[in-house]
């Protein structure tokens, strides 16, 4: 069984954001603007994505 993947790209800067939002970006593996990573579609990752959705672009793979 293969798990679904999400392609997540950071579109806005993390400078000046809440510390918890910066930690969500770090948890997703995002480092800088226009950096893109693939993460598993799990409830934990979805929660982090929902918290900082205003800074991300998300696509299903």
Q: What is the pTM of this model?
A: 0.90
Q: How many domains does the chain have?
A: 1
For residue 3, is pLDDT > 80?
no
> CATH number of the domain that 40 lies in?
3.30.1390.20
Name the strands in the sheet holding 5-10, side by side, starting at the edge strand that comes first in the sequence.
36-40, 5-10, 56-60
For residue 4, is pLDDT > 70?
yes
Domain that holds residue 9: 5-60
State residue 42's pLDDT score.
95
Helix extents (H) in 3-42:
19-28
State residue 2's pLDDT score.
58
Which pLDDT tens digit goes with each residue over 27-45? 999 999 999 999 999 999 9
State residue 34's pLDDT score.
97
């Amino acid at each position: 069984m293969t798990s679904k993947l999400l392609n997540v790209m950071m579109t806005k800067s993390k400078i000046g954001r809440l510390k918890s939002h910066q930690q969500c970006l770090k948890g997703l593996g995002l480092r800088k603007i226009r950096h893109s990573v693939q993460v598993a579609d799990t409830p934990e990752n979805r929660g982090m994505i929902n918290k900082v959705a205003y800074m991300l672009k998300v696509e299903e793979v």
